[in-house]
Structure 1
Amino acid sequence: MTTETAPSPLVIRHDHDGYVTLVMSNPARRNALSGAMMTALQDAFDQIANSPDIRCVILAAEGPVFCAGHDLKEMGGISECDQHASLFAQCSRLMMRIVSLPQPVIARVRGMATAAGCQLVASCDLAVAASTAKFATPGVNIGLFCSTPMVALSRNIARKHAMRMLLTGDPVPAELAFSMGLVSDVVDEADLEAATAVLAAGIAARSGMTVRLGKQAFYKQIEMPLSDAYGYASDVMTANMQKHDAREGIDAFVEKRHPQWRHE
């Protein structure tokens, strides 16, 4: 009698004090965003969204490639237009889930992040990259313009930087990606995990209510005209001032002590 072994999970979760690390775990396929991988990530983020004790998320990957984008073998095996549309719609939902997630998401990038993998980095709130990491939107090289990655990319970097990446497909090294605004931090590869953990732990140590409120407000106001943005932000700060943690934080500052957050 033979026993079947359960398939290895595509996303592995590690819980820490106040934050979680999600690790894409399909290095043999370069952590490609297959339908199954996207479902696993979506499920993990949906679960985290409803977890008030989690105040930050690190998104990482096993192996030498962070994420190679869509699984071209899977895409090539699909012939129906509606199947392709379903796959791209699934990818868009995943990227929007990251943006709408109450908790900040930090991409921890080692190796290459290409096409939808670059989109994944651009969709995260912060990105810490190893100095050896590279980023590219090379769809133009195979006759498939990186149109959906373009959405996140063009909301992170200046137009001409984005167009250069999209039109040439050339890989961008980490330091240049930093200067363009695609990543927030660049560190030596040996320090990548530790530096990202310090950043996540620092965010998790803040008031979870304040961080959730601030992330939501950031993405909402950035699409508004200037006067509307100020009106909205003023309303947010007014509501924020009524919260326990705001009152506690101000009192602690005046009294020169550490605040005791209730995350509410």
Structure 2
Amino acid sequence: MSAEAAPPQDRPVLLREDHGGIATLTLDRPQARNALSEALIDALAAELASIAADRAVRAVIVAAAPGPVFCAGHDLKEMTARRADPDRGRAYYADVLARCSAMMQAVVRLPQPVIAAVEGLASAAGCQLVAACDLAVAGDKASFCTPGVHIGLFCSTPMVALSRNVAPKHAMEMLLTGETVPAEHALRMGLVNRVVPRGQAMREARRLATLVASKSAATLKIGKEAFYRQREMGLAEAYDYAASVMVENMLARDAEEGIGAFIEKRPPRWRD
């Protein structure tokens, strides 16, 4: 969570760079600890929608402007200002949280895999953003927390993504205590995939993104969607659903090409 001042209105709050089939989205509010302002939430939502329809993009990296904080969560100054509304901000808070939740779900529903590259602190909704990504790489000085309890505000929406990434008792400990978890502990918990020396998170995220981008985009789209859908099902239903997905996948052109290439001992030529 952040209570820092908002950036000048003419400065972009989100940067996008595309290279080699990888789109990098960089949170760019360093003077506000890269907090998720309304403008940043909307910018992320817009870029994710654009990327979803862009066949040239095969993987996505979410990073942040250099500094001690990856993302401090919601912009508390922006939110607190609406307590002066006639309804004490109820309608505004409902709208902002709904937009943020929709943006987090867009990360999960994006056809392309999304990798977080974390240097510094990922707090509250910033931790939620990391948890929403498919993969995460952290510098060894990165840290993670859901500190809402310190200010009387339980991190209920970050809880959704967090509890789907780590074991229940780990999630509850973070949520109930608000304590900060170092990168190595986040790795053991399953919140991140890799811990690398400080300053190397982006390099490792790009390596992973390049590896992912070399696969069939159509196959990864099928697999990512299936992964998240089956996780919400009972065991028998999940197996029935996964089997039906695999049948359709076996009939896809890229599966035919990939299996043929394996048998013929040659590199596959994906048609996506």
Provide TM-score, normalisation by structure 2. 0.93
Q: Deviations over 1:101-156 (max 9, x none)?
A: 11111000000000000000000011000011000000000011101101111111
* 2:40 aligned residue (37, 42, 47): 37
1:63 CA displacement: 2.4
Aligned to 2:129: 120
2 CA distance for matches of 1:151 and 1:157?
11
Q: 2 CA distance for matches of 1:88 and 1:190? A: 32
- Structure-2 separation of matches of 1:106 and 1:17: 15
Correspondence for 2:25: 22
1:76 is matched with: 80
> Residue deviations 1:133-180, cap 9 Å, x none?
000000000011101101111111111101110111100000000100
Pairwise CA distance, 1:234 = 0.5
Can you list the C-alpha shifts for 1:8-33, whole angstroms capped at 9, x where unaligned? 21111110111110101110001100
Alpha carbons 2:61, 2:209 under 8 Å: kept: yes
Write the distance in 2 (CA, Å) between the matches of 1:39 and 1:25: 14
SS of the aligned residue for 2:82 comes to: coil
Runs of 4+ in 1 over 6 A off after TM superposition: none
Aligned amino acid, residue 255 of structure 1: E
| Cα offset, 1:6, TM superposition | 7.8
1:261 aligns with 2:270: yes
In structure 1, give the amino acid aligned to 2:140: S
The answer on whether the counterparts of 1:30 and 1:63 sit within 8 Å (CA) in structure 2 is: no
Specify the alignment match of 1:249 in structure 2.
258
Structure 1 residue 194 displacement after superposition: 1.5
C-alpha distance in 1 between matches for 2:30 and 2:200: 21
Q: Residue 119 of structure 2 contacts residue 199 of structure 2 at CA under 8 Å; is this kept in 1?
A: no
Q: What is aligned with 2:4?
A: none
Query: 1:6 and 1:148, CA in 2 relative to 1: closer, same or farther beyond 3 A?
Result: closer
Equivalent runs, 1:28-177 vs 2, <5 Å: 28-64=31-67, 65-79=69-83, 80-177=89-186
Amino acid of the structure 2 residue aligned with 1:27? P
Identity of aligned residues (%): 54
The 3-state SS of whatever aligns with 2:211 is helix
* C-alpha RMSD of matched pairs (Å): 1.1
The match for 1:10 among 6, 13, 17 is 13
Does residue 1:214 correspond to 2:223, yes or no?
yes
Q: Distance in 2 between matches of 1:192 and 1:136?
A: 19
In structure 1, what residue type is equivalent to 2:131?
A
Q: Count residues with an aligned counterpart.
A: 259
AA partner of residue 176 (structure 1): H
| 1:162-241 equivalences in 2 (<5 Å) | 162-241=171-250
Distance in structure 2 (CA, Å) of the matches to 1:254 and 1:61 = 43
Partners of 1:222 and 1:163 lie apart in 2 by 20
- Contact 2:63–2:202 under 8 Å retained in 1: no
CA distance in 2 between counterparts of 1:91 and 1:120 reads 10
Give 1:39 deviation, angstroms. 0.4
TM-score (norm 1): 0.96
Q: Which amino acid aligns with 1:95?
A: M
Contact 1:207–1:261 under 8 Å retained in 2: yes
Offset, 1:260? 0.5
